[in-house]
Amino acid sequence: MSKDIPPFRLAFSMKTLVKIQAFLPVFENTISHQKQTLVNQTEKSKSNQDTARKARLYITHFLKVMNMAIARGEVPPETRSFYGIASDDSSIPSLTSENELVAWGKRIIDGEEYRIRKGSTPVTNPSVAVVKVRYEKFLETRNHYKTINRRATECVNKTSDMRGEADDLITALWNEIEASFASLPEAEKRASAEKYGLVYVFRKNETAGQDLSPTLFEVDQNKN
pTM: 0.71
Confidence (pLDDT) at 222: 45
Q: Is 218 exposed, middle or buried (0-12, 13-18, 19+ CB in 10 A)?
A: exposed
Confidence (pLDDT) at 202: 76
Report the alpha-carbon distance of residue 201 to residue 211 in Å, rounded. 11
Confidence (pLDDT) at 200: 83
Give the residue ranges of the chain where pLDDT is below 70.
Answer: 206-224
CA angle 151, 154, 159 (to 5 degrees): 125
Confidence (pLDDT) at 7: 86
What does the DSSP 8-state code read for residue 7?
G
Confidence (pLDDT) at 223: 44
Confidence (pLDDT) at 216: 45
Give every CB contact of residue 41 below 8 A, 6+ residues apart in sequence.
145, 148, 149, 152
Confidence (pLDDT) at 208: 54
